[in-house]
Structure 1
Amino acid sequence: MGQQKTVSSERDLILRAQAGENAAFGELVQRYMRRAYFAALGFVGSPEDAMDLSQDAFARAYRARARINPDMNFYTWFYQILRRLCFNFIRDRKLHRAKLRDEKSWIVDDAAYRASERNPQRNVERKQTRERVRKAIESLPDREREVLVLKEFEGLKYREIAELVGIPIGTVMSRLYSARRNLAAAIEEMEP
């Protein structure tokens, strides 16, 4: 019963947004901004980039609001926009990094370097572990990273992931298995 009420109120918000009521679309943004942010964060790893991508995805969704099916879950539709933006961002970032490497450029974050000198050893180790995990997640193929983020960071069920990504549940399970196996191998390779 509660689920039906949420869906129908969401349907009402979509219809009102399509009719030009900006406050209705704002309510959808409020409902899903946190979830969108954490989904993007799982993809790109940077809080600032995740916020930018989430906001950009909502702006694009607003412009395309006439195409939303009011009988469909808004987040399922919206997620396709967010997902595409994240994949494009990752692709562009990889190209940019490759260009920097080719030019033998390097960037040192001096503030982070100085801060790490003052931190206790435990904080340094924790930061190194986080960085290894982040890099290992980034190294996964996009398909594997996506299901891993949805399962482990967003806590979605296999059925929900299948619906969002548009693949069978069996494919979700096999991609997740591969992602976990490849993640463990990548982290192990990075161990000091």
Structure 2
Amino acid sequence: MHEYADFDDFVARTRSATLARAVMYCGRRPDAEDAVQEAYLAAYLHWSELREPRAWVETTVRRRFAREAGRWWSRWRRTELEVPVSATSTPDEEAAAVAVLRSVGLLPPRQRQVLIMICLEGLTYRQVADEVGISVGAVGANLAKARERLAVLLGLAAEPHRAGDPLVAGVLTRSGPEGMSGYGEDALAAALRRTERWLARGFDADRASAQRLRAALDRQRDEHR
């Protein structure tokens, strides 16, 4: 079984990180909150069946954004980025995180999707290919383009190709197309992870988003009593 005492404990311990990951995918706080709320509501209905609830919720959120990637991208380009900022965040941390978020938002939907699935979700090329419905080679091509674009936008030096890894530049945790997994902590992957942690700290301190989710869950509980 899982590590959570009950559903409320699960939500309390995973909400901030789940919202942060959702923002990395879609770029808009309202869309992220909608997707996360929908996933938790579904998890509540299936709670007794879930052996790995966090992975289940993360997959549910990811697949929603995969279905509607084009719509999230068009909204991002027209909308000012608004996310909660932790009181402990320094100006430099905020500036760096916002720069990453805005740069990721300039990527085409498929490139952004593949980038987050591999660099943050830790999925293999094969897992991404099967879930998105493209070839392993297309996964590598989209990832390479995303990394090259972000390296330019963020002023990061591109990592050299590793021998035997023709698809992408960077430090891979495994080699070979079938087993390729997420990047190691190269400069770009580290920047993405720092940004996600910065977002999670902001959501952790954001009482309003926690209250909105709690109210939605309470309504669902009332409906199923």
- CA distance in structure 2 between the aligned counterparts of 1:76 and 1:165, rounded to whole angstroms: 15
- CA distance in structure 1 between the aligned counterparts of 2:100 and 2:76, rounded to whole angstroms: 18
Q: Is 1:180 aligned to 2:147, yes or no?
A: yes
Q: 1:83 aligns with which of 66, 86, 90?
A: 66
RMSD of aligned Cα (Å): 4.3
1:5-38 CA-to-partner distances (Å, cap 9, x unmatched) read xxxxxxxxxxxxxxxxxxxxx9xx98x9899755
- CA distance in structure 2 between the aligned counterparts of 1:36 and 1:84, rounded to whole angstroms: 18
Q: 1:149 aligns with which of 111, 116, 131?
A: 116
Residues 37 and 156 of structure 1: CA distance in aligned 2, closer, same or farther (over 3 Å)? farther
Shift of the alpha carbon at 1:140? 0.8
Residues 25-44 of structure 1: matches in 2 within 5 Å?
Answer: 37=19, 39-44=21-26
Aligned residues, how many?
134
- CA distance in structure 2 between the aligned counterparts of 1:38 and 1:124, rounded to whole angstroms: 19
1:27-58 CA-to-partner distances (Å, cap 9, x unmatched) read xx98x989975552221235554231233467
Residues 178 and 137 of structure 1: CA distance in aligned 2, closer, same or farther (over 3 Å)? same
By relative contact order (CA 8 Å, sep 6+), the higher-ranking structure is 2
Determine what percentage of the aligned residue pairs are the same residue: 24
Residues 133 and 82 of structure 1: CA distance in aligned 2, closer, same or farther (over 3 Å)? closer
Shift of the alpha carbon at 1:81? 3.3
TM-score, normalised via structure 2 length: 0.45
Question: 2:97 — aligned with what?
Answer: 130
Q: Is 1:167 aligned to 2:150, yes or no?
A: no
AA in 1 matched with 2:22: A
Residues 135 and 76 of structure 1: CA distance in aligned 2, closer, same or farther (over 3 Å)? closer
Q: 5+ residue gaps in structure 2?
A: 1-6, 44-55, 157-225
Shift of the alpha carbon at 1:138? 0.5
Shift of the alpha carbon at 1:91? 1.8
- CA distance in structure 2 between the aligned counterparts of 1:179 and 1:148, rounded to whole angstroms: 7
AA in 1 matched with 2:144: Y
Shift of the alpha carbon at 1:130? 0.9
Q: Is 1:54 aligned to 2:21, yes or no?
A: no
Instruction: Please tell me whether the aligned partners of residues 137 and 145 of structure 1 are also in contact (alpha carbons under 8 angstroms).
Output: yes
- CA distance in structure 2 between the aligned counterparts of 1:146 and 1:92, rounded to whole angstroms: 15
- CA distance in structure 1 between the aligned counterparts of 2:39 and 2:74, rounded to whole angstroms: 17
Question: 2:27 — aligned with what?
Answer: 45
AA in 2 matched with 1:163: D
Instruction: Please tell me whether the aligned partners of residues 150 and 161 of structure 1 are also in contact (alpha carbons under 8 angstroms).
Output: yes
Q: 5+ residue gaps in structure 1?
A: 1-25, 62-73, 98-106
Residues 174 and 93 of structure 1: CA distance in aligned 2, closer, same or farther (over 3 Å)? closer
Residues 123 and 37 of structure 1: CA distance in aligned 2, closer, same or farther (over 3 Å)? closer
| The structure with more helix, counted as a fraction of residues | 1
